[in-house]
Amino acid sequence: MVSVQLFVVDAFTAVPFTGNPAAVCLLDSDRDRAVDAAWMQDLAAEMNHSETAFVDLSTLERTGEIGLRWFTPTVEVDICGHATLASAHVLLEEGLTSAPLAFRTASGVLRADRAGRDAIALDFPIDVPVAGLPDGYFADEFADALGASVIAVARCRHDVLVEVSAAAEVRELEPDLAVLRAATGRGVIVTAAADDGIDDADFVSRFFAPAVGIDEDPVTGSAHCCLAPYWSEKLGKPSLVGAQLSRRGGTVGVEVAGDRVLLRGNAVTISRGELAV
């Protein structure tokens, strides 16, 4: 294999060493013929970020679209917001293409464009939550696992959404990951309305996905495809800001637009280099 570029980018933040780090690997499938899904999974495990994005530039000139896949340290996933933001940031910052961008993914075509001087906006499919739980699960199980007062539980396309009574409860969660690991779907979103101590945010969240190798994700763009319609309906406005209260922390601007959700955020390149193997 010839030289393959590899970046680490902190997404949904403008401050280095906060937000959600993603590895971004730039490939050309016409050139890098040794690359397959097993190799991608091995590299993602080596990087050990919540997601590693693999960006395939081989189709850009022919179709105007860029191939994009995402792997956690243990599995390939169908959608990822922060690693998409990181990928768009790398392509634009390195001058490899210009905005707007179209990524061909397992979740269809996802678009990215500049949003102001520094931010990037992602166009993702909406994920409207449905009240209730998957068969065989009960709200009390989640209340016990989270150690929090559960107000509502809903099913999203990929995750379970749990609303609790206060932002302080979200911040202080120490969940039983073994129970959450058994929950149907990719992960569990825990959320509450923001309080006065969180500047500019309308709601807060944390995201746990031990079933796919991520005990807690620092900032989860795709979860906001479900959080956006949930809080938009509750608060009566289409544009909101979510604060994810992980240890690293980060913010996601959201706007409900029909059957799509726009996710806005900043990103910071932490490192750039080449794979030696």
For the annotated catalytic residues, the residue numbers are 51
User: What does residue 8 show for φ and ψ, rounded to 5 degrees?
Assistant: -120, 125
Structure token digits, residue 90 = 């790398």
Joined together, the tokens standing for residue 226 give 């479900």
Beta-sheet pairing, 130-131 with 101-105: unpaired
Q: How far apart are CA 98 and CA 41, in angstroms?
A: 29
DSSP state of 35: -
Which string of b and e fits 112-140 if b means at least 16 CB within 10 Å?
bbebeeebbbbbbebbbbeeebeeebeee
Contact 263, 133 (CB under 8 A): no
Q: Dihedral, CA atoms, 190, 194, 198, 200, nearest 10 degrees?
A: 120
Q: Which two tokens stand for residue 123?
A: 């166009």
CA 16/CA 158 separation, integer angstroms: 29
Residue 174 main-chain phi, psi, to 5 deg: -130, 75
